[in-house]
Structure 1
Amino acid sequence: MKIKLEESTFGLLLASLLLIFGGVFSSAVQYDYTAVIDCLADPLKPQYNGGIIINPEINDGVKGWTTHGGVKIEQRSSISGNKYMVAHNRKQPYASVSHKVLLEKDKLYTFSAWIQVAGKNTTVTALFKTGDGFEKVGAVEAQVGCWSMFKGGISVASSTPAELYFESNDTSVDIWVDSVSLQPFTNEEWRSHQEQSIQKVRKSNMRLQVVDQNGRPIPNANITIQQNRLRFPLGASINQNIVRNTAYQNWFTQRFTVTTFENEMKWYTTENTQGREDYSAADSMLAFTSQHRISVRGHNIFWDDPQYQPWWVKNLSPQSLGPATDKRLNSVVSRYRGRVIAWDVNNENLHFNFYESKLGGGITNKFFQRTRQLDRRAMLFMNDYNTIEDGRDSTSSPSKYIAKLRQLQASLGANSVIGIGLEGHFHTVNIAYVRSALDTLAATRMPIWITELDVQAGPSQAAYFEQILREVHAHPGIQGIVIWGPWSQNGQCYQMCLVDPSFRNLAPGNVLDKLIHEWGGATAQATTNDNGYIDVSLFHGDYEAKFVPQGGRVDEVSPQGKSLSFAVDHNSSGQVIKFVSHV
């Protein structure tokens, strides 16, 4: 059965149906989350059969394609018979092939292409030229002798003619292009993709059967189901004020299950003066998190930005810095191993190189190796910014991120697991790019966390925050989310306060509470059928079901048999849980 999405009311109905039936009724074009991160001898077919791109496989000469920047283009064929397009005699970085399209307002476009270069390996970027300027939609580290896929995304504020083209700062290389795709989605379709993914990776379909003491089904039984704890790790950073502030504690523990210390575990805090370590702030915060079953991400062992070194570290010679880093790593990891679930080993290592510039290019590998030796259980993470926030920053593109990840994996040995930490400090939001970047990173099969999520202040802050939270929570590659700096004693947060100094919700706080409610925080009520069954689709988490007698209240039921605690995870689909009532 298929339903055609023609009106917004139908879109809302579809979203509701998807929550129950996992999206089987959707007639929208299904989103393709796949990405290829290996360099292949021949490109694969274009996603969505090319979408709105004419001649996406370059099988019909150069039909639909033109030159950009005074370059020469031609169709060529490989030994295997694959046809592709080549831009050569390039004199400018923007000299390449181009394709004209119409981008429509309120649509989200997913882009993909396969690229190869002749000459030497280099970065190739895809851009759209519109009436409003230039928009980068993705970049890839293109190689000689094999094809690399990259994905990107774009949306526009108003409908506009646009020109797609490719760019490389190295004008000595020829750019080869094949299997290009540009697929539009409506906002309703985009939301339906999120709901389908949530149903698949965040929820499980189960049956609850209410029976009496003799095992006989109880029909028409009223049941309430309350989620006590969300299984998906949702958290926020905290500062040391939480140790003495009861209101802060209550606000935090009612919402979150994981945290990161904002400054208290960083080197400039724990050893502000050389040789004088002070872990008292982090120790007291860990006592609080342990008491409330809050998981902690160790942030961070080192920070590669020169600006954030302890003042005395900046002046050390390489001969003195080496032993100092050894002492720091051994001290903090040994102290907190077994008490943190992860370590950000060398923060923002894609953008900065303080330690590499002084101790050699392999020092980050050594940091990871030594951390793994000291702590065998915690996940070791890269952690950086602009990989999903800003497609214009080629320094930390998904392609560059994966190259560094593979280097670290090689240093740790085969099959080593390294977490992908994505800070998520947003200014504006290109949600189509966010999804495509996550697709590429998820192809590594490494765990991905959003580690420092916030949005720059402005009139669209709350709306952007909701867009991002919905997108990253729904993406199948994401395994945890931490929001950054949500509360400040003076109301001056890093970018985004969820609450004011008195813990009254601000607009982003309202967004968060709405989504927590949506993700299982509400109490569900249902009535059993003739066979005593209730069919439910529940977010993964810990639950309590309560039996309510006809015309009665839960508190009127005898303690024995009035409630049932149970857990839901990805293995729970299809399970039947029996609730034996003694009432």
Structure 2
Amino acid sequence: QCLKTPPEPLYGGGLVVNPSLDDGVNGWAPFGSARLNHAESDDGNKYVVASERSQAFDSFSQEFDLDAEKLYSLSAWIRVSEGRMDGVDVSVNVKTNGGDFITAGWVVAREDCWAMLKGGFVVDKSGPAHIFFQSNVTGVDIWADSISLQHFTTEEWESHRSQTIDRARKRTVKFWAVDEYGRPVENATVSITQTRSGFPLGVAINNNLIGNAAYQDWFARRFKYTVFENEMKWYATESTRGTEDYSAADALLGFAKSHGIAVRGHNVFWDAKNYQPSWVPWISVPDLWTAVNRRLNSVVGRYKGQLIHWDVVNESMHYRFFELRLSRRFSSIFFSRARDLDSTALPFLNEFNTIEESGDGVASPSRYLQKIQELRQGGYNGPLGIGLQGHFRVLNLPYVRAALDTLGSTGLPVWITELDVGNGPNQAALLDQILRELHAHPAVKGIIMWSAWRPGGCYRMCLTDNNFRNLPTGDVVDRILGEFILREGAVYGKTNSDGVFEASLLHGDYEVGVSHPDGDYNSDSRQIKISPVQLEEEE
């Protein structure tokens, strides 16, 4: 949203002094060499202005005493005095007394309206710190209003997460037991067994799975969703110009089909020059047009109707190989063509650092929204998915939640497509935290982990050793599966005097049985599907 007048600050401003700038610039100070001004629009809205900026960090700031045990959510409404066609990147940052700088959020600001910046952060050490704003475009004044900083204890954060899971991932279901005359049956036994998860959680696989019974068994007992690590990529299927080899991808897809496992297609094109087949960067523009059309028709046509998603142009925010060589509308053109070829696979953008690295403004949530708008303006108006890779080094849960809020505002399905956590002594604990955070967010419709097994070590995070015994990270995944994805065993209960038994159940498919209190001679069973929208009974 870009508004004429900002709304009131979240949490009433929280810890911020003078969050709505109704009291002049009280509580605010210049940061760097900027000049600080108080301004008022024709409609009476008041705001702070940083002008005469010569360095990126020249702006305004407020000092806070931060607590390393708390999580901080931050928001502000931002505008600039003049802007470019694609907007001006403005970030909010934290400078600690120890000299550390933390980027807490981004917004693409405009000159004709107010845009919301939403972010968050944590600090390693308690103590004083300054919150300030920044833009590399020094020729513009930065305006801000309705600024908020709110802290949360770990208990408060986790409580909110649990409440969200109850709302977004579960339904309260009532079962009625009646006899042949429609009279309620008291004390009937109700058994409820989950047979399939309603939330997709999966792991990438690769060609090491082919012919490896131990790997196949470990995987198939846990997961119903996957993606192939490299086997569908162009450099894997056509390393020599004109000679295609889909044998590895075909074998992996055969395994998936035989076990009822859904597959994401990754990817049709990769927008980085260094990840093309070796012959692609050197051919002429007309030959490249021929090659990309042949590639699209080949891979999408071959797997038509067999995949749930396609990453059509991978990492097109960080890289622009095809846009620079062929057309700035390359993504729009090929999203449309991919959708025309296979209307059953949802086309996805797929990008890194949008949720995992707050300092990367190239792929900030605001820039991601702009990329979606660019696709639409370029002529693609079909269905679309938001792919967020999630290669985490450190965790900034408030930033993750704020980023998902921003992207979730589109109403488009969000998938975490390549989740992993860098190696280190706390890898398993961090994986546990981020899985819980991502699963709880209502915008997230599925999670795929980037942990395809290799005998010499995985990309960054393995779940098993070479004998397919769980590592601590694998134990985390099993625990999450049992808690939130597919509950093992049956839930039992008794109906009350009205013949009713009530249970809170995760979304998914269930086998429900009801036994009469006088014995099993009069029992019934049904298959039901519990969805976020409605309870459907299947014949």
Question: What band does the TM-score fall into relative to the shorter chain?
Answer: over 0.9
Equivalence for 1:459: 425
CA distance in 2, matches of 1:418, 1:549: 49
Whether 1:286 aligns to 2:253 is yes
The reply on whether 1:210 has 2:177 as its aligned counterpart is yes
Distance between the aligned counterparts of 2:223 and 2:259, measured in 1? Answer: 10
Residue 472 in structure 1 maps to residue 435 in structure 2: no
Is residue 2:533 matched to residue 1:567? no
Does 1:67 pair with 2:30?
yes
Is 1:495 equivalent to 2:460 in the alignment?
yes
Distance 1:508-1:548 versus aligned 2 partners, 3 A rule: farther
SS in 2 for 1:521: coil
- How far apart, CA to CA, are the structure 2 residues paired with 1:411 and 1:280? 35
The C-alpha deviation readout for 1:339-364, integer Å capped at 9, x for no partner, is 11111011111111121222132222
1:442 aligns with 2:408: yes
2:239 aligned with 1:272 = yes
2:6 aligned partner:
43
Q: Hey, what does 1:98 align to over in structure 2? A: 61
Q: Compute the displacement of 1:551 (Å).
A: 12
* Displacement after TM superposition at 1:486 (Å): 4.2
Q: Distance in 2 between matches of 1:84 and 1:442?
A: 28
Q: Which runs of 5+ in 1 are unaligned?
A: 1-37, 579-583
Give, as a single letter, the amino acid of the residue that structure 1 aligns with 2:398. A
Superposition pairs of residues 535-550 of structure 1, within 5 angstroms: 535-547=502-514
SS in 2 for 1:296: strand
| Secondary structure class of the residue paired with 2:318 | coil
Deviation at 1:464, TM superposition (A): 1.0
| CA displacement 1:452-486 (0-9 Å, x = unmatched) | 00000101111111111111111011111111124
Instruction: State the 1:214 CA deviation.
Output: 4.9
Residue 428 of structure 1 deviates from its aligned partner by 0.6
| Pairing of 1:389-428 with structure 2 (within 5 A) | 389-414=356-381, 416-428=382-394
Any idea what the Cα deviations from partners look like across 1:142-171, whole Å, max 9, x if unmatched? 111211111010112332211000111121
Query: What residue is the counterpart of 1:510 in the other structure?
Result: 475
Q: Which moved more, 1:209-218 or 1:325-334?
A: 209-218
Q: Tell me the amino acid that sits aligned with residue 387 of structure 2.
A: G
Q: Is the contact between residue 409 and residue 418 of structure 1 (CA under 8 Å) also seen in structure 2? A: no
* AA at the equivalent of 1:242: L
Asked whether the equivalents of residues 369 and 411 of structure 1 are also in contact (C-alpha less than 8 Å), the reply is no
Task: Name the CA distance, whole Å, in 1 between partners of 2:431 and 2:51.
Answer: 43
The answer to whether 1:234 aligns with 2:197 is no
Rounded Cα–Cα distance in structure 2 between residues aligned with 1:282 and 1:216: 56
TM-score by length of 2: 0.94
Query: Residue 173 of structure 1 aligns to a residue in which SS?
Result: coil
CA contact (8 A) 1:368 1:412 kept: no
Residue 542 (structure 1) shift: 0.8
Pairing of 1:189-204 with structure 2 (within 5 A): 189-204=156-171
Alignment of 1:17-28 (within 5 A): none
| Secondary structure at the counterpart of residue 412 of structure 1 | coil
Contact 2:65/2:127, CA 8 A, preserved across alignment: yes
- Equivalenced residue count is 532
1:24 aligns to what?
A: none
Does structure 2 retain, via aligned residues, the 8 Å contact 1:491–1:500?
A: no
Q: Please, what TM-score do these two structures have when normalized by structure 1?
A: 0.87
Q: Hey, what's the Cα distance between the residues in 2 that align with 1:417 and 1:545? A: 35
- SS in structure 2 opposite 1:111? strand
Residue in 2 that maps onto 1:54 = 17
Is 1:343 equivalent to 2:296 in the alignment? no
Unmatched runs of 5 consecutive residues or more in structure 2: none
Residues 336, 380 of structure 2: 8 Å contact kept: no
Which 10-residue stretch deviates more, 234-243 or 300-309? 234-243
SS at match of 2:116: strand
> C-alpha distance in 1, partners of 2:43/2:460?
53
| Alignment partners' CA distance in 2, 1:511 and 1:283 | 31
**Residue identity in the other structure for 2:53:** R
Partner of 2:40: 77
Q: Which amino acid aligns with 2:367?
A: K
8 A Cα contact 2:206 2:452, kept in partner:
no
Instruction: Write out per-residue CA displacement over residues 267-305 of structure 1, whole angstroms, 9 at most, x where no aligned residue.
Output: 111111111111122122222222222111110001111
Counterparts of 2:135 and 2:174 in 1: how far apart (Å)? 56
Measured against aligned partners, the alpha-carbon deviations of 1:538-562 in whole angstroms (never above 9, x if no partner) come to 001011234578799xxxx57x836
Match of 2:353 among 364, 379, 386: 386
Return 367-376 or 52-61, whichever deviates more: 367-376
Distance 2:54 2:210 in 1: 61
* Partner Cα distance (1:60, 1:358) in 2: 54
- 8 Å CA contact retained: 1:389, 1:424: yes
CA RMSD in angstroms, aligned pairs only: 2.0
Aligned equivalents of 2:306, 2:346: Cα separation in 1: 12
Does 2:488 match 1:522?
Answer: yes
Distance 1:495 1:214 in 2: 62
Contact kept? 1:491, 1:497, Cα under 8 Å = no
Distance in 1 between the 2:202 and 2:242 partners? 33
Q: Which digits, 9 at most, give the CA deviation of each residue in 1:24-56, with x for residues without a partner?
A: xxxxxxxxxxxxxx2211112111111110110
- Distance across 2 between alignment mates of 1:413 and 1:505: 44
Q: What's the CA shift for 1:525?
A: 2.6
Residue 176 (1) aligns with residue 143 (2): yes
8 Å CA contact 2:335, 2:380 repeated in 1: no
Cα deviation digits, residues 316-338 of structure 1 (max 9, x gap): 22232111111101111111121
The alpha-carbon deviation at position 526 of structure 1 amounts to 2.1
Which secondary structure state, in structure 1, belongs to the residue aligned with residue 2 of structure 2?
coil
* Contact 1:206 1:572 survives alignment (8 Å): no
How much does 1:534 deviate?
1.3
Write the deviation string for residues 354-387 of structure 1: whole angstroms up to 9, x where unpaired.
2122213222222212212212232111101000
2:500 match: 533
What letter is aligned with 2:11?
Answer: Y
Which residue number in structure 2 is paired with residue 9 of structure 1?
A: none
SS in 2 for 1:561: strand
Q: 1:148 to 1:311 in 2, by over 3 A?
A: same
SS in 2 for 1:97: strand
1:295 aligns with 2:258: no
Q: Secondary structure at the match of 1:501?
A: coil
1:247 offset after TM fit, Å? 2.6
How far is 1:213 from its partner? 4.8
| CA deviations over 1:417-444 (Å, ceiling 9, x no partner) | 3211000000111011000011111111
Post-superposition CA distance 1:225-245 (Å, at most 9, x none): 221110111111111333422
For 2:494 and 2:460, locate their aligned partners in 1 and report how far apart those are by CA, in whole Å: 45
Instruction: State the 1:528 CA deviation.
Output: 2.4
Going from structure 1 to structure 2, the CA distance change for 1:186 and 1:551 (only over 3 Å counts) comes to farther
Map of 1:552-563 to 2, 5 A cutoff? Answer: 561=523, 563=525
8 Å CA contact 1:234–1:482 kept in 2: the answer is yes
